[in-house]
Homo-oligomer: A and B are copies of this chain.
Amino acid sequence: MTKIAIIGHGNIGKAVEEAVKAAPDMELTGIYHHNDDLSQIKADVALLCTPTREVPSFAEKMLQLGISTVDSFDIHGQIYDLRQQLTPLARANKAVSIIAAGWDPGSDSVVRTLLQAIAPGGITYTNFGPGRSMGHTVAAKAIHGVKEALSMTIPLGTGIHRRMVYVELEEGADFKTVEKNLLQDDYFAHDETHVIPVPSVASLNNVAHGVHLVRSGVSGTTHNQRFEFNMSINNPALTGQVMVACARAACRLKNESNYGAYTLIEIPPIYLLSGDTENNIRSLV
Contact = CB atoms under 8 A, between A and B. Distances in A.
Interface string A104-145: 010101111110111110000000000000000000000000
A113 B228 contact: no
A183 interface: no
A77 to B, nearest CB: 8
A88 interface: no
A265 B274 contact: no
A146 interface: no
Contacts of A107: 114, 117-118
Of the candidates A103, A229, A230, the one having the most CB atoms from chain B within 10 angstroms of its own CB is A229
Interface string A73-114: 000100110010000000000000000100101010111111
A278 interface: yes
Nearest to A272: B117
A15 B220 contact: yes
B269 A114 contact: yes
B245 A79 contact: no
Contacts of A16: 220
Contacts of A40: none
A263 B285 contact: yes
What is the total number of copies of this protein in its complex? 2
Contacts of A255: none
Contacts of A224: 234
Interface in A169-228: 218-222, 224-228
Nearest to A84: B278
**Considering residues A79, A103, A219, A242, which has the most beta carbons from chain B within 10 angstroms of its beta carbon?**
A219
Nearest to A229: B229
A156 interface: no
Contacts of A31: none
Interface string A140-170: 0000000000000000000000000000000
B285 A265 contact: yes
A230 to B, nearest CB: 4
Interface in A230-278: 230-234, 237-238, 240-242, 244-245, 263-270, 272-274, 277-278
Given A110-B114, A110-B269, 9 more contacts: A21-B221, A111-B229, A114-B272, A118-B241, A118-B272, A226-B232, A227-B230, A228-B228, A228-B229
Interface of A: 15-16, 18-19, 21-23, 76, 79-80, 83, 100, 103, 105, 107, 109-114, 116-120, 218-222, 224-234, 237-238, 240-242, 244-245, 263-270, 272-274, 277-278, 280-282, 284-285
13 contacts: A22-B218, A23-B120, A111-B114, A113-B272, A118-B238, A118-B272, A119-B238, A220-B237, A221-B237, A227-B231, A229-B229, A265-B285, A269-B269
